[in-house]
Structure 1
Amino acid sequence: MRDGFSASGDGFDLHFAGRIVLRHRPDCPAVVTSRGKADVAMTLGNFTISDSPSDARHAVRVDLVDEATVTLSDAAGAIARLQFDGGSLVVRALAPGHHRIAIAFHAEPGEAVWGGGEQFSYLALNGRRFPMWTSEPGVGREPDAPQAALTGHGTGDYWTTNFPQPTFLTSRWLAVHCNASTYSVLDFTDPAAHRVEVWAGDTSFDLFAADSPAGLVGQLSERFGRQPPLPDWAIGGAIVGLKDGARSFERLERFVEAGAAISGIWCEDWAGIRETSFGRRLFWDWRRSEQRYPDLPARIAALKARGIRFLAYANPYLAIDGLLYEEGLEGDHYVRDDHGAVLLTDFGEFTCASLDFTREETCAWFADRVLGQEMLDIGVSGWMADFGEYIPADARFADGTTGMETHNRYPVLWAEVNARAVASRGQTGEAVFFMRSGFSGVQQHCALLWAGDQSVDFSRHDGIGTVITATLSAGLLGSAYSHSDCGGYTSLHGNLRSAEVMRRWCEMAAFAPFMRSHEGNRPDDNLQYDSTPELLACFARWSRVHAHLAPYVRHLCDEAASQGLPVQRPLFLHHPDDPALWTVQDAFLYGADLLVAPVIEEGAMERDVVLPGTEPWRHVWSGADYAPGAHRVAAPLDAPPVFFRTDSKFAALFAALPKALAR
């Protein structure tokens, strides 16, 4: 069957790459349009969104024009027009005043679905709805979690994410991407249809198909933009996160003396701090604090001479009690509210203005004046480019768009400004910024994701395990490099770090391309990696494992650049013919040759592992060979289940991991 529309009884089908993409029948319409009335409220980056749809219309008559165009009508007239051109499908509502479109893509029995951006709770999306709206993921996302004591906004749900993306892949090795940036929903609750709801009067979809999931991921990576490879310093050692002012440098020496492989120190408090009821926050005025970090440029230069980079922090908001805020006012650099005044947002006991990155002058000012002069020019080698989700629906931008239209696009604009600053100093591929927020296209600007604000525990929807799901789901959509706050971040309502969760997080973080610790939102209440000799030794051991794997990670970076493959991969990516692997989200392939199954359950000293393929896998710590299939594997502290392919050209490197851990 050729690509395009074809009549089928009293309906039509759309074929693409030998697959049925749409199947319309009067009793099962492919397109429904309606009017809508949105209600969107935001509190601290958490959103409540509802709609009041009316006048829904679906087709009872099909006017098939040709292979490229279909018009759908009912008794009252035309409803929608569909146009297909190669891999592009355009859908337009024709009914007057209709600005909601729902399109049902064909699904086959047993078809698995993945995607949706960076998802924290579920890798396979079947059976659930996923709204596409960048936000705080929330804390207490499950009824039995301790954090569920939170009330009102902030608890989140299984679908809330900093990085949504209206793209899905299926086990027919077909992918569909919706080009709309406004609010949308991916709905997989009906096993007979993959529905996409879009709050717009017209939208378009890009279609992709391949013979394997790896080929499909490569196409998506090409579509959204491939990241520059990570520099050697970023993959060659761990980044120690400390926010203790000048004392951070003294504490860094403890890690060095303990034998840790250190490539950087990350001081997010470089611009000062602000104490709030949530914990230790930062002073959002992105200039170095001479009081907290005296002689910082000289300190940075001295560290770099030792092979240790300095990393900082910034976000796209400026506190109204800072000096840069006044500069921003003079340059008219802020987003406005619907009354034309500067939009001011409560970030939790302090107020900020948002930078308007739809305005070229603002992008140039922030990239050069702040990220360039204040950071890169004093020797900063990287930073957390935080936030990006706090744009309310009624915001007004210089390009004439509203928050409803630009909210999801804002993280991409933010990423572009960071990339612009790096490029302006000739540092692309050398300086590294990492982000938690994202949307379609952020991949081409941001080399490195981090998984946001996990709770400092083992909870199913908030804790350590969500890092794996987030990494795998984002990797399928072209984000090659990801990592997390080693040790977790969020500590609320008495939920404090245990030595066990910190040790297990180290074991997992060593098998990511970037290993970075974080002191969390309540550093004084929680254990840190230099709190005890045992934790310091643990971090040192696993930083050496991370550094030992640098030659293999460089190989994976090369694969990411040439093929678009993420460094951490779902098991099915290289073993697509085994449906049992389609839902595995608690283990991953580190490239094709290493399998890592982190321990993400409290108290567990063994865990189930599925070894894919047809050849044996060798257990790193014992040297024993395991046949493919399901196994119960011992997993004491300092020995999480890790296996490698004996025919790998890196087999000798993997076999030496126990020595790297022990020395």
Structure 2
Amino acid sequence: MAEFRALDNGFDLMLGQLCLLSHREKSPAFTIAIGDEDVEMVRGNFKIADTLKSVYSPYIVQNCEAQRVTLLNKAGSGEDDGQSIILQLEQQDGYFTLNIKASNPEINRIVMSLNALENEHIYGGGEQMSYLNLRGRNFPIWTSEPGVGRDKSTELTKIMDADGMAGGDYWTSNYPQPTFISDRHYACHIDGTAYAEMDFTSRDSHKITYWNNELNIKLFMGENQLSIVGQLAQYFGRQPALPNWAIGGAIIGLKDGDNSFARLEKFADAGTAISGLWCEDWVGIRQTDFGRRLFWNWSWNEARYPDLPNRIKELAEKNIRFLGYVNPYIAVDAAQFAEAKSGGHLALNLHDDEPYLVDFGQFDCGVVDFTRPETQKWFAEEIIAKQMIDFGLSGWMADFGEYLPIDLRLHDGSDPMEAHNLWPLLWAKVNDMAVKSRGRDDIVFFMRAGASGVQAHCPLLWAGDQCVDFSRHDGIGTVITAALSAGLVGNAYSHHDVGGYTSLHGNIRTADLMKRWAELGAFTPVMRSHEGNRPDDNLQYDSNDDLLSHFAAMSRVHLALAPYVRFMSDQAVKDGLPLQRPLFLHYPDDSEVGDMQDQYLYGTDMLVAPIIEADQFSRKLYLPAGENWVHLWSGKKFTSGWHDVASPYGEPPVFYKENSTFSQLFAGLCSARNSENQGEKYG
């Protein structure tokens, strides 16, 4: 039950027995203001500032009922000076809605303070890369490029900041979401797409800022955090089960034109369990200073892949799928640009009817305007369905979605400041629309950009463009935090570029990094490699026999683990729980695990503690209480507590419960790793 409780000098908002909000005349819980934002964008990197013209704190309680409160700004006579707000509570199916609306239509900033405890843990925020526990930090909600380095103290971040504000920070993310979960057994979600901030820096309050005249909050409560995660998954929309082909073995990412097929044979000869070949360059290549990029015309590039239709058929005979690439922009020098322009499918300049162009770094593109229903249908049918699905693709990277500028004109007349955070959801819907038009439940597209509600349309996340290193805020370890945080707000499946992606200013892959990333990839739902933005400057998994042999071994582990992943995926459809889970979900009373983000539970029966530091051949890890754990590679039994565990290459620290119904399957993973036989394809 949620209700307002009147007091002599204010009121409390009760969520069951929890006092969620306390408003007093001398310490009001709300502030409203008129603000004027200043937004600068350079290639998906944003600098946002705000100037407040007027600030009010409505504090006089004019009336307080169980489900409705009116607050006035002016004391004395009780007359409204035009700066009042109305709070309305409503019970929905499984959650509560708190609506806060300012009476003055010019008000466009609302700030609300919730009660907090000093030792409270806060999680969620969409896909966060740096911190699983959000407590003590402020998180702006604005989808963007995460940045390169994401640590203001590092030289790489400083260099990238000087070049187009591209360094990023701990909070920058392709997929921020205004949803958080408290270990006080409630969740709070902002139902809207305007710019927001979730500030958890205060000891005794959580501050929510929203740039709109109206703030709509969804409140969830449960017996524990596990039940709340399930509720959020139900609210946002549960994803379908992953198809068998995607979870059994590796998807090999190559962008080497027709030579990719000869290289794939080399992977096969090394005993790699191959489920798919992903060639993002199937649309052609554009070389820029950033590296080897793609030609953004969304159809087969016959010059780069001269016999692709037959190649796809040959792969299918080996039970190997072919995957491609697409994004929601069209290059001005692409053949499809003229069609998009003449068809009214592009967003326009503010002051003329010419397409708005975005600089993506040495080439300009038009923005496909998904606020127009005809454009959604055109892109879904004419681009994705006909050019990709009908052509033979079984999946693709649905890239970008974060770049919507705020100084353009959209077909539906909406404010780009409101549409910006909505854009990834519209992009997901278009991809989903195309897949559904062909009735294909075996297709998997994957996205890095996200927004509230993307869960119902995007079958698989990927963690974006990590640096090819072990750095704290932009390296291999961030993909674990990304999966755990996104999983808490309804995204059951996450994966990443095995090997990393971004290589700039002399930062290149090491064999150590490549091996450790392959080990991590084996214990994620989908294992997909990437050649990175500068493949010629970096090691690849087929660069030498040692790397190839290691990758092949880990792919066989991934294939052998597929029945367990199948079980977890089918369960996720029923309960909405993610496959990769923070330990606190199942061990909420264990004081050791609240901030733990460098190891995770894989389902309920397996614990994975990857090596995410350079040149480390052992690591300290924690095994939760109440269980007997078996070391995957040695079969040695461990009790709960902290342990130093050896980890030579090929043996990432992985444990399983002794009494697991999958214990026989887990015990066989060591044999699968050591076998040079690819084994049968899964499904």
TM-score bucket of the superposed structures, by smaller chain: over 0.9
Distance in 2 (alpha carbons) for counterparts of 1:496 and 1:146: 15
What is the aligned partner in structure 1 of residue 680 from structure 2? Answer: none
What is the aligned partner in structure 1 of residue 283 from structure 2? Answer: 271
- The aligned runs of 1:120-519 (5 Å cut-off) are 120-148=129-157, 149-150=159-160, 151-152=162-163, 153-340=165-352, 341-427=354-440, 429-519=441-531
Give the C-alpha shift of residue 601 in structure 1: 0.6
- Answer yes or no: is the 8 Å Cα contact 2:252–2:277 preserved in 1: yes
Give the C-alpha shift of residue 78 in structure 1: 4.4
Give the C-alpha shift of residue 96 in structure 1: 5.4
What is the aligned partner in structure 2 of residue 54 from structure 1? Answer: 53
Give the C-alpha shift of residue 605 in structure 1: 1.3
Give the C-alpha shift of residue 97 in structure 1: 2.0
Q: Which amino acid aligns with 2:634?
A: S
- Answer yes or no: is the 8 Å Cα contact 1:394–1:402 preserved in 2: no
Distance in 1 (alpha carbons) for counterparts of 2:479 and 2:418: 29
Distance in 2 (alpha carbons) for counterparts of 1:217 and 1:210: 9
Residue by residue over 1:338-394, the C-alpha shift from the partner in whole angstroms, topping out at 9 and shown as x without a partner, is 124311000000000011111111111111111011110011000000000111112
Q: Which amino acid aligns with 2:258?
A: A
Distance in 2 (alpha carbons) for counterparts of 1:401 and 1:243: 38
- Answer yes or no: is the 8 Å Cα contact 1:503–1:538 preserved in 2: yes
SS in 2 for 1:52: strand
- The aligned runs of 1:536-555 (5 Å cut-off) are 536-555=548-567
Give the C-alpha shift of residue 143 in structure 1: 3.6
- Answer yes or no: is the 8 Å Cα contact 2:470–2:613 preserved in 1: yes
- Answer yes or no: is the 8 Å Cα contact 1:12–1:24 preserved in 2: yes
What is the aligned partner in structure 2 of residue 604 from structure 1? Answer: 616
Query: CA 1:530/1:77 → structure 2, altered by over 3 Å: closer, same or farther?
Result: same
SS in 2 for 1:599: coil
Between 9-18 and 237-246, the greater mean CA deviation after superposition: 9-18
Distance in 1 (alpha carbons) for counterparts of 2:170 and 2:125: 12
What is the aligned partner in structure 2 of residue 651 from structure 1? Answer: 663
Q: Which amino acid aligns with 1:97?
A: E
Give the C-alpha shift of residue 26 in structure 1: 2.2
Distance in 2 (alpha carbons) for counterparts of 1:193 and 1:603: 42
Between 345-354 and 570-579, the greater mean CA deviation after superposition: 570-579
Distance in 2 (alpha carbons) for counterparts of 1:348 and 1:281: 10
Residue by residue over 1:111-132, the C-alpha shift from the partner in whole angstroms, topping out at 9 and shown as x without a partner, is 1101111000000000100000
1:113 to 100, 122, 128: 122
Distance in 1 (alpha carbons) for counterparts of 2:360 and 2:175: 19
- The aligned runs of 1:36-55 (5 Å cut-off) are 36-55=35-54
Distance in 1 (alpha carbons) for counterparts of 2:616 and 2:16: 46
SS in 1 for 2:535: coil
Distance in 2 (alpha carbons) for counterparts of 1:222 and 1:613: 30
Q: Which amino acid aligns with 2:47?
A: T
- Between the aligned residues of both structures, percent identity stands at 53
Give the C-alpha shift of residue 291 in structure 1: 0.5
Give the C-alpha shift of residue 612 in structure 1: 1.1
Q: Which amino acid aligns with 2:20?
A: V
- Answer yes or no: is the 8 Å Cα contact 2:6–2:64 preserved in 1: no
- Answer yes or no: is the 8 Å Cα contact 1:395–1:402 preserved in 2: no
Query: CA 1:100/1:651 → structure 2, altered by over 3 Å: closer, same or farther?
Result: same
Distance in 2 (alpha carbons) for counterparts of 1:9 and 1:598: 55
Give the C-alpha shift of residue 194 in structure 1: 1.3
What is the aligned partner in structure 2 of residue 81 from structure 1? Answer: 86
RMSD: 1.1
Residue by residue over 1:396-433, the C-alpha shift from the partner in whole angstroms, topping out at 9 and shown as x without a partner, is 21111121110000000000000010111111x31000
Query: CA 1:35/1:78 → structure 2, altered by over 3 Å: closer, same or farther?
Result: closer
Distance in 2 (alpha carbons) for counterparts of 1:27 and 1:558: 52
- Answer yes or no: is the 8 Å Cα contact 2:5–2:64 preserved in 1: no
Query: CA 1:77/1:320 → structure 2, altered by over 3 Å: closer, same or farther?
Result: closer
Query: CA 1:96/1:350 → structure 2, altered by over 3 Å: closer, same or farther?
Result: closer
Give the C-alpha shift of residue 549 in structure 1: 0.6
Give the C-alpha shift of residue 77 in structure 1: 5.3
1:72 aligns with 2:71: yes
What is the aligned partner in structure 2 of residue 557 from structure 1? Answer: 569
What is the aligned partner in structure 1 of residue 7 from structure 2? Answer: 8
Distance in 2 (alpha carbons) for counterparts of 1:330 and 1:124: 49
SS in 1 for 2:537: coil
**Would you say how many aligned residue pairs link Structure 1 and Structure 2?**
661
Q: Which amino acid aligns with 1:171?
A: D
Distance in 2 (alpha carbons) for counterparts of 1:54 and 1:611: 53
Report the TM-score, using the length of structure 2 for normalisation: 0.96
Between 10-19 and 119-128, the greater mean CA deviation after superposition: 10-19
Distance in 1 (alpha carbons) for counterparts of 2:137 and 2:629: 35
Q: Which amino acid aligns with 2:300?
A: R
Give the C-alpha shift of residue 146 in structure 1: 4.4
1:630 aligns with 2:630: no
SS in 1 for 2:620: strand
Q: Which amino acid aligns with 1:112?
A: H
Give the C-alpha shift of residue 395 in structure 1: 2.1
Distance in 1 (alpha carbons) for counterparts of 2:149 and 2:249: 33
Between 307-316 and 101-110, the greater mean CA deviation after superposition: 101-110
Q: Which amino acid aligns with 1:104?
A: S
Distance in 2 (alpha carbons) for counterparts of 1:123 and 1:652: 33
SS in 1 for 2:592: helix
What is the aligned partner in structure 2 of residue 660 from structure 1? Answer: 672
Distance in 2 (alpha carbons) for counterparts of 1:545 and 1:137: 31
- Answer yes or no: is the 8 Å Cα contact 1:34–1:98 preserved in 2: yes
Q: Which amino acid aligns with 1:84?
A: L
Distance in 2 (alpha carbons) for counterparts of 1:613 and 1:362: 54
SS in 1 for 2:390: helix
- Answer yes or no: is the 8 Å Cα contact 1:69–1:84 preserved in 2: yes
SS in 2 for 1:37: strand
1:574 aligns with 2:586: yes
Residue by residue over 1:276-299, the C-alpha shift from the partner in whole angstroms, topping out at 9 and shown as x without a partner, is 000000000011011101121111
- Answer yes or no: is the 8 Å Cα contact 1:173–1:212 preserved in 2: yes
Distance in 1 (alpha carbons) for counterparts of 2:230 and 2:356: 40
Q: Which amino acid aligns with 1:320?
A: V
SS in 2 for 1:169: strand
- Answer yes or no: is the 8 Å Cα contact 1:3–1:18 preserved in 2: no
- Answer yes or no: is the 8 Å Cα contact 1:107–1:193 preserved in 2: yes
Distance in 1 (alpha carbons) for counterparts of 2:407 and 2:110: 22
- Answer yes or no: is the 8 Å Cα contact 1:71–1:78 preserved in 2: no
Give the gaps of 5 or more residues in structure 1: none
Give the C-alpha shift of residue 18 in structure 1: 2.6
1:91 aligns with 2:76: no
- Answer yes or no: is the 8 Å Cα contact 2:4–2:64 preserved in 1: no
Distance in 2 (alpha carbons) for counterparts of 1:411 and 1:329: 22
Give the C-alpha shift of residue 144 in structure 1: 4.2
Give the C-alpha shift of residue 147 in structure 1: 1.5
Distance in 2 (alpha carbons) for counterparts of 1:8 and 1:612: 44
- Answer yes or no: is the 8 Å Cα contact 2:105–2:213 preserved in 1: no
SS in 2 for 1:479: coil
Q: Which amino acid aligns with 1:240?
A: I
1:30 aligns with 2:43: no
- Answer yes or no: is the 8 Å Cα contact 1:612–1:628 preserved in 2: yes
Give the C-alpha shift of residue 657 in structure 1: 1.2
- Answer yes or no: is the 8 Å Cα contact 2:179–2:188 preserved in 1: yes
